[in-house]
């Protein structure tokens, strides 16, 4: 059985984490919080999951549940949002999503709301765990179409809680241009600037729809090679769905990218904004790791190259 936390990271928040990166959260704290607030579960074992994220810490609670705790103030609004909206979205979606069971309050020295959810079986998606990547890409696209067709009335409009996913990429214009300047000579800044400018020009005209906001391989669960669940709706909301297309370059290529693109049926302007989102994220991660982590830097350079080529073809 494979543990899972949240695979997505939000680099612009990392400076809010303490040096140990764990925000003082451990199994003992989780046990205290459960004992104080949900005594019916106080005797269940608490164990860290095998795969955890930076934005939240996740622990197994017995066999059937997980406890999820935000690591910084910027991630805390997601608890209430997911608790409110995941049960509303779940019936519209073709695969499982986290099921909130209880919402915890600050306590035992921990400052934020936190959540108890039902455990979801599955392993995080990776090429080695998927036999048929084009079929998997179709399943991801079908999940997005179902999400976009869910009723968006009263849904949380894109903003700070979604780290401006679902809004215009223009929110990150200054950061992107500063990063391009810093990486001059190490990436093709002229071509990258053309992609970014095109993303800003392709303004979104549609009616607001639901978006996930962090559709990355770490937030997709598979069993026997098939998509079975999508997790971590912390950056979800209602707005422009372009941010959810970034996976076209970060996980798919060749036939699988083609299958994703054909199935997800988005217009050229949405793809232009999606390229902007992919470029922004790859650039800021690259700037962080270019001199310290060769493998991660190569991964981001590959995404940038794919996005630039895609724009030009």
Which pLDDT score, from 0 to 100, does residue 283 have?
A: 98
Q: Which of 67, 233, 229, 102 is nearest to 155 (CA)?
A: 233
Q: Tell me the residue ranges of DSSP E strands in the chain.
A: 46-48, 56-61, 65-70, 100-104, 114-118, 123-124, 209-211, 220-223, 226-230, 237-239
Query: Distance from first CA to last CA of the chain, Å, rounded?
Result: 43
pTM summary value:
0.91
- From residue 19, give the alpha-carbon distance in Å to each of 8, 14, 59: 19, 10, 21
Q: How far is CA 242 from the centre of its chain?
A: 13
Cite the residue boundaries of each domain of the chain with CATH code 3.90.1200.10: 127-312
CATH architecture of 11-121: 2-Layer Sandwich (3.30)
Which pLDDT score, from 0 to 100, does residue 53 have?
A: 79
Mean pLDDT, consecutive 10-residue stretches, the chain (313 aa), reads 43 34 81 98 94 88 97 94 98 98 96 97 92 97 98 96 96 98 97 98 95 96 96 97 98 97 97 98 98 97 98 96
- Grouping H, G, I as helix, E, B as strand and the rest as coil, residue 199 is helix
Q: Is the dihedral of CA 14, 160, 172, 249 positive or negative?
A: positive
- Grouping H, G, I as helix, E, B as strand and the rest as coil, residue 206 is coil
Topology of domain 127-312 in CATH is: Aminoglycoside 3'-phosphotransferase; Chain: A, domain 2 (3.90.1200)
Alpha carbons 268 and 183: distance in angstroms, whole number? 28
Cite the residue boundaries of each domain of the chain with CATH code 3.30.200.20: 11-121
Which pLDDT score, from 0 to 100, does residue 119 have?
A: 96
Which pLDDT score, from 0 to 100, does residue 18 have?
A: 38
């Amino acid at each position: 059985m494979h543990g899972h936390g949240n695979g997505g990271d939000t680099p612009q928040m990392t400076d809010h984490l303490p040096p140990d990166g764990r925000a003082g959260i451990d199994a003992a704290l989780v046990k205290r919080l459960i004992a104080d607030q949900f005594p019916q579960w106080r005797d269940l074992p608490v164990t860290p999951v095998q795969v955890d994220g930076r934005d939240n810490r996740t622990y197994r609670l017995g066999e059937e549940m997980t406890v999820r705790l935000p690591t910084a103030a910027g991630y805390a609004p997601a608890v209430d949002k997911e608790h409110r909206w995941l049960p509303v979205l779940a019936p519209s979606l073709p695969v499982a999503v986290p099921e909130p069971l209880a919402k915890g309050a600050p306590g035992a020295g921990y400052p934020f709301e936190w959540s108890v959810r039902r455990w979801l079986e599955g392993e995080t998606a990776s090429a080695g765990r998927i036999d048929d990547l084009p079929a998997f890409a179709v399943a991801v696209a079908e999940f997005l179409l179902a999400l976009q067709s869910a009723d968006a009335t009263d849904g949380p409009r894109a903003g700070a809680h979604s780290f401006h996913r679902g809004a215009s990429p223009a929110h990150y214009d200054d950061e992107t241009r500063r990063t391009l300047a810093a990486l001059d000579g190490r990436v093709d800044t002229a071509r990258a600037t053309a992609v970014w400018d095109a993303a800003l020009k392709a303004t979104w005209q549609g009616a607001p729809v639901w978006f996930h906001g962090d559709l990355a391989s770490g937030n997709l669960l598979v069993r026997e090679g098939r998509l079975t669940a999508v997790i971590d709706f912390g950056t979800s909301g209602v707005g422009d769905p372009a941010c959810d297309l970034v996976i076209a370059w970060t996980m798919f290529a060749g036939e699988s990218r083609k299958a994703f693109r054909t199935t997800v049926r988005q217009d050229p302007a949405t793809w232009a904004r999606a390229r902007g989102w992919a470029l922004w994220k790859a650039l800021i991660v690259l700037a962080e790791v270019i001199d310290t982590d060769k493998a991660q830097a190569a991964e981001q350079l590959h995404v940038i190259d794919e996005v630039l080529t895609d724009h030009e073809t």
